[in-house]
Amino acid sequence: MLQRQAERFGNRPLFVAGHVRWTFAETASIAACYAGALGRAGIRAGDRVALMCSNRAEFMQAFLGCVWLGAIAVPINVASRGMQLRHILENSGARLLIVETELLDAWRALDPASGAIEQVWTIGRPPALPLPAGVTSMAFPDAAEPAPPGKVGPGDTAAILYTSGTTGASKGVCCPQAQFYWWGVHTSQALGIGQGDVLTTTLPLFHTNALNSFYQALLTGATLVVERRFSASTFWADMARHRATVTYLLGAMVPILLSRPLSPDDRAHRARIALAPGVPAQFHDAFVERFGTRLIDGYGSTETNFVIGADLGRPPPGSMGSVRPGFEARVVDEHDEDLPDGQAGELVLRATQPYAFATGYFAMHDKTVEAWRNLWFHTGDRVVRDAGGNFRFVDRLKDAIRRRGENVSSFEVEQVLLSHPDVETAAVYPVRSELAEDEVMAAVVLRAGATLAALDLVRFCEKQMPYFAVPRFVEFVDALPVTENGKVQKFKLRERGITEHAWDREAAGYQVKR
């Protein structure tokens, strides 16, 4: 793809991050040269390369170098800490860690024996302290002698993206080369992207949404501009500065932008459309009226693709849309039997093109078989299909929480809570947010005779998990509701919601450090 599009579009700009600007031709050369740098460091096809980096050019240099060489990139959420980070490194078996220096302490805090890291490349200033024995380090290198393209096929894994576990540890989704191609094809078609469009994202490159926007630009002759992070106060000014025509939002970002004071920046931009899955229906008209940017809903996941999408003007806001060409979708019961239209059930999916979906979970064969049983991918999401073939999201069957665009594993949060010496047991579950997604709530049973302040428990969590996973609400209870065999009945906790006895860290004025 890189070679073909370099010949086709040449000096047309493809990628912009800060002061860095690459043409299509330069991007192909950069991929080859960083593949050379990886090869010089002993990385071979199939080796995993962990990448802990924010939205900056080095992320794409390393990622493209990996996929050109045939190595496997392992992008890691920069907020990962403690048990989650250890699991990702151990599960992936990454030999090389490429990390921004200010994030290095998150790795240093782990057991040096965990994982298979042999080398560290640091982005930014040199590390102040030495690394564990046996691990070599160097500054992120300049481009090396270009390497020839690796002998990779469409089904070979390009990246392992870790998505939060729902009843266990995070799972590494094996994303083949062709999956990113089909992401680019289907998403760009849904958004009407063509030559001359400027795609601007504030979402993190270590997630599927922003990463596949690179492929949208690559395949259409558009330009991708990557901002470091989402800022509600400067969002529209940034869109105007970049002359953006297409942008990307998450459900919670829309009400945040609508809550801002009116500004001349609201209409001083060219953004005609935004991919905005999960936006509640009541916000659509207000958003278009104020900002002049249309919102497109849709459905996809790290394991799948742009499977379900809405066209402008139909169906009405609040619907995910209908199945896109190239995919099949069913709504089924617990036995995988089809349910009639209008009845809620689990959404199961498959693709008609080879390798348009992920190929499984890395080194978790049992989880792969479970998710892809009966040859359909089981999303764990409960939906309703209407007689017109449009799907509406109801809720999640899985024990997961979606907060500010991040998937939070209740299992992983519970493991941190249970590691506190004063905690006997705990259950973590979602409660509704005023921003249209979830907030994290924990019901906690203390050990006999123990006393613990909710704020102290939150501070304990803050050191051991990503900031977005730290519970906002904490309620100390005498016991958790359980079944006859001792399984926690979380549906009862979700139904009860936020009680008058719950402690709210935002109401208390405590801000978790990022």
Calculate the alpha carbon distances from 197 to 7, 25, 92, 240, 347 in Å: 19, 18, 36, 13, 33
Instruction: Please give the pLDDT value at position 402.
Output: 81
Instruction: Please give the pLDDT value at position 56.
Output: 97
Distance CA(202)–CA(247), nearest Å, equals: 8
What are the respective helix, strand and coil percentages of the chain, to the nearest 5?
Answer: 30, 25, 45
At residue 9, φ and ψ (nearest 5 deg) are -110, -15
Q: Which residues pair with 159 in a beta bridge?
A: 73, 175
157, 178 Cβ separation under 8 angstroms: no
Distance CA(148)–CA(154), nearest Å, equals: 17
405, 436 Cβ separation under 8 angstroms: no
SS3 187: helix
Q: Which residues pair with 96 in a beta bridge?
A: 49, 119
User: What kind and span of H or E run contains 86?
Assistant: helix 82-92
> At a CB cut-off of 8 Å and minimum separation 6, what does 357 contact?
179, 303, 304, 305, 349, 350, 351, 377
Place of tokens 């209870």: 477
292, 265 Cβ separation under 8 angstroms: no
Peptide bond just before 176 cis, omega within 30 deg: no
Going by their DSSP bridges, the two strands 273-275 and 157-163 should be labelled as unpaired
Low-confidence ranges of the chain (pLDDT < 50): 166
Question: Residue 507 has which token pair?
Answer: 């109401």
Domains in the chain with CATH codes: 2-152 (3.40.50.980), 400-504 (3.30.300.30)
Beta-carbon-side half-sphere exposure of residue 5 (alpha carbons within 13 Å):
23
Instruction: Please give the pLDDT value at position 166.
Output: 47
- 3 state SS for 273-320: EEECCCCCHHHHHHHHHHHCCEEECEECCCCCCCCEECECCECCCCCC
Distance CA(115)–CA(107), nearest Å, equals: 10
